[in-house]
Chains A and B, each alone.
Chain A
Amino acid sequence: MSSLWQGEVVANTAVGPDIYHLRLRTALPGPRPGQFVHLRCGSSWDPLLRRPLSIHDYNPARQELELLYQVVGRGTAWLAGRRPGDFLDGLGPLGRGFTLPPGPRVALVAGGLGIAPLFFLARVAAAGGYQVTLYVGARSRDGLLRLETLQGLAVEVQRATDDGSAGFAGPVTSLLARHLEYKQYDGIFACGPRAMLAEVAKLAGQRGIPAEVSLEERMACGLGACRGCVVALYGEDGSIAYENVCSAGPVFPAEKIVW
């Protein structure tokens, strides 16, 4: 059952340009990769709404939740000001996460902050015996986040930067496309900018590889009640309907999305 909690800040450190890694002590009931938490980012009614952040990792033994976020506005700026010992008002885990395929070879494709949920997925998949390749794309090398933490795990990391400062020079989807010429995957999982996700969906679709993507929309309740955060999806019969990102997603089968 989803829950409402107060989590104590253990650490909140800058790990990139305007990007922070937040560790919170809170007991979450079995969070799964792709799920998110919904945080109050202020102590008044302004800003009013909670902010959704993907679960970056969770350690049940230490009861420690990790988040990775970029400061883009008032809420995340407030969050960046929290110090160890502060308490945060959170809701979750919420939403539907990723579903690993029966086959063992999975490709994870992260664009920018899209690494946030895929890091958790990479760790869980590797621990579950999957052969994990993690494709990470960023504008330049300082946007490739927290990859050192994956060392020691059975995860193959493929880097791409727009400016060529690390790894493949170009979009991460171009790197993926090249690899798909000769590599086989049983599932592809992606999170990042919408245009990137659409490209991943196309590449996967062309090769008949099942793909799941994590979507973002402006969100209010996070519980499926207000219908504020919808995206257009194809139904079974090809009709189009609006579904909640918060409760039907944020992870959706790529082929269901009306791009």
Chain B
Amino acid sequence: MVKPRMEVELAGLRLQNPVMPASGTFGFGEEYEGYLDLNSLGAIVTKSVTLEPTPGNPPPRVAETPAGLLNSIGLQNPGLEVFLREKMPFLRQLRPPVIVNIAGRTLEEYVELARRLDGVDGVAALEVNISCPNVKEGGLAFGSSPEQAARLIRAVRRVTTLPIIAKLSPNVTDVVAVAKGVEAAGADAVSLINTLQGMAVDLERRRPVLGNISGGLSGPAVKPVALYCVWRVAREVMIPVIGMGGIMTATDALEFLLAGARAVAVGTANLVNPRAMAEIIAGLEAYLLQHNIEDVNQIIGALEV
């Protein structure tokens, strides 16, 4: 039996397989080097990078919920300059395309980030985070209306030739409308879902568990919500969808591909099992082999309804 073809094409990028990390759960790659072969991934996606260093939110920043995780990291990252100087040299020597996730407090900051990343050696695409629930300014504010989202993506589109992936929130009235908005504004792909807003209460202390009061929910608990968002969006837009939300195993990944995701991102699973993506890639291959499917593209969007 020949090995199945795992390659997918996404926003002009050729991915050797459809599996990549979800932003913020994989640091800048190097943290996981001892656990899996970074060169075996479909792509690398960085933690959100902001223009200036971002200190992040006060602890506690994580709370476990039934089969889920609430986080309120608050985009802690060293800022663009340090990212370019200290993180890019490592990232650019890797084989998979490097997707840099960017987040701003204002439209101008997103534009400035995109402008300064355009043409940087080793940066293959931008993922524009317009869906972070854990920051006071920017983030979700741009992702919650189709008009705002489109305006932001249009502005970013003007200053970069890099493929743009708009990262969408499930915390909206109509995720399809937002997806169509960013598609019309020039996004080359969409990724979804970012975390769902939530909170946890410490009964003993009569206080929220998280220092930031609320956080974003991820992990197995959100998978049905994520699958539904991905399925709906994939049917309604022409640009490819990167599906994520609760993918822990190859079975989960396959469900997202069937629902129409061209690729999948793995987030919370990395925090539980640092080898999760390696196991998911192997599991995908095994499934295709077992079912005599020659090319992974044959199952993308193949859900029968």
Whole-angstrom CA separation of A161 from B220 in the bound complex: 44
Q: Which of A3, A47, A219, A230 has the most chain B CB atoms closer than 10 A to its own CB?
A: A230
- Among listed A18-26, A96-104, A180-188, A221-229, interface-contacting one: A221-229
A225-B32, A242-B55 as given contacts; A48 in contact with B27, CB under 8 Å: no
**Within 8 Å CB of B270, what residues of A?**
221, 225
- Give a binary string over A30-74; 1 marks a CB under 8 Å from any B CB, 0 the rest: 000000000010001111111000000000000000000000000
B73: nearest residue on chain A (CB-CB)? Answer: A227
Let me know if B283 is at the binding interface, CB within 8 A: no
- Give a binary string over B23-59; 1 marks a CB under 8 Å from any A CB, 0 the rest: 0111100011011000000000001000000011011
Whole-angstrom CA separation of A221 from B26 in the bound complex: 9
**Within 8 Å CB of A219, what residues of B?**
62
Let me know if B248 is at the binding interface, CB within 8 A: yes
Whole-angstrom CA separation of A158 from B267 in the bound complex: 47
Contact size class for B? 20 to 34
**Within 8 Å CB of A45, what residues of B?**
67, 219-220, 248, 272
Give B47 Cβ to nearest chain A Cβ, in Å: 8
Whole-angstrom CA separation of A65 from B58 in the bound complex: 34
- Give a binary string over B98-111; 1 marks a CB under 8 Å from any A CB, 0 the rest: 00000000000000
Let me know if A121 is at the binding interface, CB within 8 A: no
Judge whether B59 and A242 touch: CB under 8 Å. yes
**Within 8 Å CB of B26, what residues of A?**
225
Let me know if B87 is at the binding interface, CB within 8 A: no
Let me know if A11 is at the binding interface, CB within 8 A: no
From DSSP, what is the main secondary structure of chain A's interface residues? loop
Let me know if A91 is at the binding interface, CB within 8 A: yes
Residues of B240-289 whose CB lies within 8 A of A = 248, 268, 270-272, 274-275
Whole-angstrom CA separation of A96 from B121 in the bound complex: 34
**Within 8 Å CB of A44, what residues of B?**
67
Let me know if A163 is at the binding interface, CB within 8 A: no
Give B212 Cβ to nearest chain A Cβ, in Å: 12
Q: Which of B24, B56, B62, B270 has the most chain A CB atoms closer than 10 A to its own CB?
A: B62
**Within 8 Å CB of A195, what residues of B?**
none
Whole-angstrom CA separation of A65 from B25 in the bound complex: 29
Judge whether A231 and B219 touch: CB under 8 Å. no
A40-B272, A227-B56 as given contacts; A218 in contact with B62, CB under 8 Å: yes
Whole-angstrom CA separation of A48 from B274 in the bound complex: 14
**Within 8 Å CB of A47, what residues of B?**
64
Which residue from A1, A224, A229 sits with its C-beta under 8 Å from B61?
A229
A49-B271, A223-B274 as given contacts; A231 in contact with B59, CB under 8 Å: yes
B35: nearest residue on chain A (CB-CB)? Answer: A4
Judge whether B31 and A225 touch: CB under 8 Å. yes
Whole-angstrom CA separation of A230 from B24 in the bound complex: 15
Let me know if A165 is at the binding interface, CB within 8 A: no
- Give a binary string over A224-259; 1 marks a CB under 8 Å from any B CB, 0 the rest: 111111111000000001100001000000000000
Which residue from A48, A225, A230 sits with its C-beta under 8 Å from B25?
A225
A40: nearest residue on chain B (CB-CB)? Answer: B272
Contact residues of A with B, CB < 8 Å?
A: 1-4, 40, 44-50, 91, 217-221, 223-232, 241-242, 247
Question: What are 11 residue pairs bridging A and B, where the CB atoms are less than 8 Å apart in the complex?
Answer: A1-B34, A48-B64, A48-B67, A218-B59, A218-B60, A220-B69, A221-B274, A228-B61, A228-B73, A228-B271, A231-B59
Top 4 A-B pairs, shortest CB-CB distance: A225-B27, A228-B62, A225-B31, A221-B271
- 4 additional A-B pairs beyond A217-B59, A220-B62, A227-B73, beta carbons within 8 Å, are A4-B275, A220-B71, A225-B26, A230-B76
